[in-house]
Structure 1
Amino acid sequence: MATGDLERGNGKSRGNCYNRSSSSYSVENDEKQWTSWLVPMFVVENVAVFCCGRCVVRFLGRLSFQPTRENPLFGPSSNTLEKLGALEWYKVVHGNQGWRLITCIWLHAGVIHLLANMLSLIFIGIRLEQQFGFIRVGLIYLLSGLGGSVLSALFIQCNISVGASGALFGLLGAMLSELLTNWTTYTNKAAALITLVVIIAINLAIGILPHVDNSAHIGGFLSGFLLGFVLLLRPQFGWVGRKNLPAGAPVKSKHKAYQYVFWVIGVDLLVVGFSVGLVMLFRGENGNDHCSWCHYLSCVPTSKWHCGNS
């Protein structure tokens, strides 16, 4: 599994930092394996947007792609990304351009950024789509990307943001909640949980570096984590194998009681979280006014770098 990072512009520059790790664990079930086509389509769409975006803005000359000393990711300038639909707080709140909360998910700061995120999407998304189908995985991807954009806009209002990392962190969050809510169906439970938690922790820790939008990572992760409880339930083995039971044999319920509890909590927190976040955003509020320490989640200043206006 792997995850890339969602780039945040610091002034007019871009940075990149990502981590890739791998793990494997098995799940004991006989559910249908779906053919993955949506995730590969997402990959193609992201690549197409990047390539077509370069053609569309070719007339901008030097603004189309920055010199490598300004953008080491081999990508377009901040001005170009802004024209193509990057997330910018002022235009979302005061320019009635809420669509930027979605379009920014399909933009990338450069070739390296695009490649890292698409490799991550392939490793994470195909597995989930094969097990749970395109509808549920597609919803998690899009809603997590939206959740990441909302939190990013609330806490980072002086820079633009692009990238699919909020959605990718949502898939990681969904994998974690899926493991917890379907705990009894897994073998090597402890190893699976430790591996996944370490991967998530490492990637979130990378987000404290400058030029990386950790607010989007966290927003996407939390959205995906809650969506996993709602959308990725597995039935009990006794219910799956009910057709093989003799007549009159007792049949287990489809889901365990704790799974229903997780489902209710997940739905409630999702509704409240998205409602509060969107209301605060379109009222023009700054999340930092309500959380004096939250800016450290996106960047921790050291002697090696400064965070500027985070």
Structure 2
Amino acid sequence: MEPTSGGFGILHIIFNMYWLWSLGRVVEQVLGRLRFTALYLLSALGGSVLGYLISPDQAAVGASGAIFGLAAAYFIFSRRLNHDPAGATRLIVTFLVWMVVSAGISSWEGHLGGLLAGGAVALGLAHLPRKQHLATTGGMLLLLIILVALKTSQLTGALI
């Protein structure tokens, strides 16, 4: 069964929307609209890139990767700000357990890629001076582009 088909597909979308509403509002308050958007999109892209690197023939959208990136960011900012209204450790453990449990029915690669990309960006945003935030997000984008280019050249036999 495809993850995007039937009842699971609808439930998957509903859960993503719930987490975007719950986590997204909190993370956006911390980061502001522009940095939040960058984090969200880089998490989605990171999920898609890891999916492409590991399973290039498997279709994936990236929305769940973005949500996993938000979970990582929530965890990191909760620790950085010493503020934990929703139990960040419990939340991240729940996301990690779901990633393992749902591995057979959804893109674990997308989930993990979003978690890693979002976590890396959030670490930079949380711990580097504000004037280095553009370099943090730009660096992640460049890394993801390079990884896709390398994988594509490997698949096509082209030399970059």
TM-score bracket relative to the smaller structure: 0.7 to 0.9
Higher relative contact order (CA 8 A, sep 6+): 2
Cross-structure match for 2:22: 123
Question: Equivalent of 1:148, from 38, 47, 54?
Answer: 47
Question: Equivalent of 2:77, from 144, 168, 178?
Answer: 178
Structural RMSD (CA): 3.2
Shift of 1:142: 0.6
Equivalent residue pairs, number:
152
Deviating runs (4+, > 3 A) in structure 1?
A: 266-273
Question: Equivalent of 2:153, from 267, 283, 290?
Answer: 283
1:162 and 2:61 are equivalent in the alignment? yes
SS at match of 1:162: coil
Cross-structure match for 2:95: 200
Shift of 1:130: 2.5
Query: By percentage of residues, which structure has more helix?
Result: 2
Cross-structure match for 2:10: 111
- Contact 2:73/2:122, CA 8 A, preserved across alignment: yes
**TM-score computed with the length of structure 1 as normaliser:** 0.42
Q: Which has the larger radius of gyration?
A: 1
Cross-structure match for 1:250: none
Question: Equivalent of 1:220, from 90, 96, 114?
Answer: 114
In 2, the alpha carbon distance for the partners of 1:207 and 1:220 equals 15
Cross-structure match for 1:14: 2
**Sequence identity of aligned pairs in percent?**
27
- Contact 1:150/1:281, CA 8 A, preserved across alignment: no
Structure-2 change in CA distance of 1:271 and 1:125 (3 Å): closer
**TM-score computed with the length of structure 2 as normaliser:** 0.76
- Contact 1:166/1:221, CA 8 A, preserved across alignment: yes
Shift of 1:136: 1.2
SS at match of 2:106: coil
In 1, the alpha carbon distance for the partners of 2:14 and 2:62 equals 11
In 2, the alpha carbon distance for the partners of 1:205 and 1:115 equals 20
Cross-structure match for 1:42: none
Q: What CA deviation, in whole Å up to 9, does each residue of 1:47-92 have, x standing for no partner?
A: xxxxxxxxxxxxxxxxxxxxxxxx4328xxxxxxxxxxxxxxxxxx
Q: What CA deviation, in whole Å up to 9, does each residue of 1:248-286 have, x standing for no partner?
A: xxxxxxxxxxx349x79x949736742541222321449
- Contact 1:169/1:224, CA 8 A, preserved across alignment: yes
